[in-house]
Amino acid sequence: MASSSRRKFLQTAALGSAAALTGTRLLAHEKKVPVIIKDNPIVVSTWGFGKEANAGAWEILSKGGRALDAVEAGVKIPEADPKNQTIGYGGLPDRDGHVTLDACIMDENYNCGSVMCLENIVHAISVARMVMEKTPHIVLAGDGALQFALANGFKAQNLLTPESEKAWKEWLKTANYHPEINIENRLYDKSKDPMPGGPDNHDTIGMMAIDVNGNLSGACTTSGMAFKMHGRVGDSPIIGAGLYVDNEIGAATSTGVGEEVIRIVGSHLVVELMRLGRAPEDACREAVERIIQRSPEKAKEIQVGFIAINKNGEYGGYSLQPGFEYAVQSKSVTGVFPAKSHYK
Ligand code: ASP
């Protein structure tokens, strides 16, 4: 072996053994600059209720499972929880009393699937995954999405719980559409009935995970803004708005008033800012600032939050208003953390 190639071999071997010693891992595809994932697998999701959802994802990630399987399993937990009135079964309905679900999922190869305005199926995320895996399309909406789900073995059920019907009937007394800012910094506590502090009229679960192979996936699912117009679709099922995953760079997801996120294609913007070198929290902050620049007066009255994770497993979040929080689970971190916000 020539001395220069021998030197290169020794350097590479030393890097590999250092990684083995510290429990980190070099990514095979990162030839020029080895990226060391510090704490994978890892899962990050929006809001306090993300903690329970992360635990579901962790069951899969900790056994070496795929990030895509983990995020699907994770968000199915709040989808099935009738006490969570902003996602899946028990979600608050639109102004006509229909619970309509929006969801999307994206894997490490830019594969993605989405359902919009889906009724009567609890696990919208699994229908979105099936759209991704079994059709030539990316989005199915409304009755077409429902027919597709039924044809593929999903069971129809009424998603409107008595609690959510009661909240809707209460809302009908004034029929004033005004998204509340969810300012309570709180952990979702299942023992309280139904949501602590009264029903929130919006809050989505967006979840992103990195598996042991260093691959990223994300999922996002919601019943959308409570008392919205029938047929309204928010940011959550729109790839690039509510969720975006780029396996080379990172992933981002959003919550809050979806119309403002769609305008700036928020999650894609956050990922592109990370591509330019921003840390996850900084990328989320810049996306939030873009919303403020467009409409400073409106921004004072609404909530939008982003969370992001980069390929190194670094994560962060940022929101317009205080009260937004995100949940993290990895080998070394389990918890719910407040995001920094523009307004204090
Ligand atoms: N982004 C969701 C929507 O606009 C709601 C939320 O996350 O609060 O439908």
Is the beta carbon of 225 within 6 A of some atom in ligand 1?
Answer: yes
In a domain, 15, yes or no: no
For the chain, the average pLDDT equals 87
Cα dist from 124 to 129, 178, 233, whole Å: 9, 26, 14
In a domain, 29, yes or no: no
For 46, the domain range is: 35-341
Q: If you average pLDDT over residues 53-60, what whole number do you get?
A: 98
In a domain, 157, yes or no: yes
Is the beta carbon of 222 within 6 A of some atom in ligand 1?
Answer: yes
In a domain, 97, yes or no: yes
Which SS3 state, helix, strand or coil, does residue 206 take? strand
Atom of ligand 1 lying closest to residue 46 CA: 7
What is the pLDDT, as a whole number, of residue 130?
98
The closest residue, in CA terms, to atom 9 on ligand 1 is 224
114 DSSP β-pair partners:
104, 139
At position 132, the amino acid (one-letter code) is M
8 A C-beta contact, residue 126 and residue 264: no
Higher pLDDT, 237 or 178: 237
Q: How confident is the model at residue 178 (pLDDT cuts 50, 70, 90)?
A: confident
- Judge residue 125's burial from the number of C-beta atoms within 10 Å of its C-beta, 0-12 exposed, 13-18 middle, 19 or more buried: buried
Token pair in block for residue 78: 């709040």
* Chain position carrying tokens 């399987």: 69
Region of residue 119 (left: phi > 0; alpha: psi -120 to 50; beta: else): beta
The CATH number of residue 223's host domain is: 3.60.20.30
Selection from 100, 92, 287 nearest residue 202 by Cα: 92
Atom of ligand 1 lying closest to residue 224 CA: 9
Q: Identify the top-confidence range among 21-25, 125-129, 197-201.
A: 125-129
Which of 202, 302, 321 for a ligand 1 pocket mutation test, highest count of atoms within 8 Å of Cβ?
A: 202
Rounded-to-integer distance, Cα 330 and Cα 185, Å: 22
Length of the chain: 344
Q: If you average pLDDT over residues 228-257, what whole number do you get?
A: 97
Atom of ligand 1 lying closest to residue 255 CA: 7
- pLDDT above 70 coverage of the chain, percent: 82
Is the beta carbon of 256 within 6 A of some atom in ligand 1?
Answer: yes
In a domain, 163, yes or no: yes
Which SS3 state, helix, strand or coil, does residue 4 take? helix
- Worst-scoring range by mean pLDDT, 23-27, 99-103, 126-130, 167-171? 23-27
In a domain, 243, yes or no: yes
What is the pLDDT, as a whole number, of residue 201?
64
Q: How is residue 91 annotated by DSSP?
A: -
Token pair in block for residue 1: 């072996």
Q: How far is the CA of 24 from the centre of ligand 1 (A)?
A: 36
Active site residues: 204
Q: If you average pLDDT over residues 149-171, what whole number do you get?
A: 97
pLDDT in tens, 278-335: 999 999 999 999 999 999 999 999 999 999 999 999 999 999 999 999 999 999 999 9
Atom of ligand 1 lying closest to residue 102 CA: 9
8 A C-beta contact, residue 280 and residue 250: yes
In a domain, 136, yes or no: yes
Q: How far is the CA of 117 from the centre of ligand 1 (A)?
A: 13
Is the beta carbon of 260 within 6 A of some atom in ligand 1?
Answer: no
Angle at 22 between CA 19 and CA 28, to 5 degrees: 25
- pLDDT above 90 coverage of the chain, percent: 79
8 A C-beta contact, residue 294 and residue 264: yes
Token pair in block for residue 35: 């990226």
What is the pLDDT, as a whole number, of residue 177?
82
Is the beta carbon of 235 within 6 A of some atom in ligand 1?
Answer: yes
Which SS3 state, helix, strand or coil, does residue 101 take? strand
8 A C-beta contact, residue 209 and residue 74: yes
The closest residue, in CA terms, to atom 4 on ligand 1 is 258
- Judge residue 173's burial from the number of C-beta atoms within 10 Å of its C-beta, 0-12 exposed, 13-18 middle, 19 or more buried: exposed
Domain count, the chain: 1
Rounded-to-integer distance, Cα 343 and Cα 328, Å: 24
Whether the pLDDT of residue 34 is over 80: the answer is no
Q: If you average pLDDT over residues 93-100, what whole number do you get?
A: 97
In a domain, 247, yes or no: yes
Helices (H), 152-275: 162-172, 258-263, 266-275
Selection from 292, 248, 228, 230 nearest residue 266 by Cα: 292
